[in-house]
Amino acid sequence: MIRVEHDREAKALYIYLSEKPYAFGEDLDSQRRIDYAEDRTPIGIELLNVDRGVDLSDLPDAANVAAAIDGYDIIPRRVAI
């Protein structure tokens, strides 16, 4: 089950995809980071500057992420901002 934490002051979202322990993370760009478990399962997504919208391309489980952020007044985008 996806869980979202929204820090309005920091203009950031963290989307929890799994309860597996953190092993490492990879930056997709300066606004998006994917955290992984040891077995390379995506466990979380950090999105920054969400007040400008978010780029959903290349995110794991993008359709469910889009549904999870619906209602947070964040514009999903398909291209980098």
Q: How far apart are CA 53 and CA 14, in angstroms?
A: 14
Our count of domains for the chain comes to 1
Q: Which residues sit opposite 14 in a β-bridge? A: 5, 46
Mean pLDDT within 62-72: 88
Query: What does the pLDDT average to over 42-63?
Result: 93
Instruction: Note down the domain range covering 11.
Output: 3-77
DSSP, collapsed to helix, strand or coil, labels residue 59 as coil
- State the pTM of this model: 0.89
Q: Quote the pLDDT of residue 12.
A: 95
Query: What local confidence, expressed as pLDDT, does residue 41 receive?
Result: 97
pLDDT of residue 49: 93
Q: What sign has the CA pseudo-torsion 10, 38, 68, 28? A: positive
Both tokens of 24, joined, read 């490492």
Q: Answer left, alpha or beta for residue 43, where phi above 0 means left and psi between -120 and 50 means alpha.
A: alpha
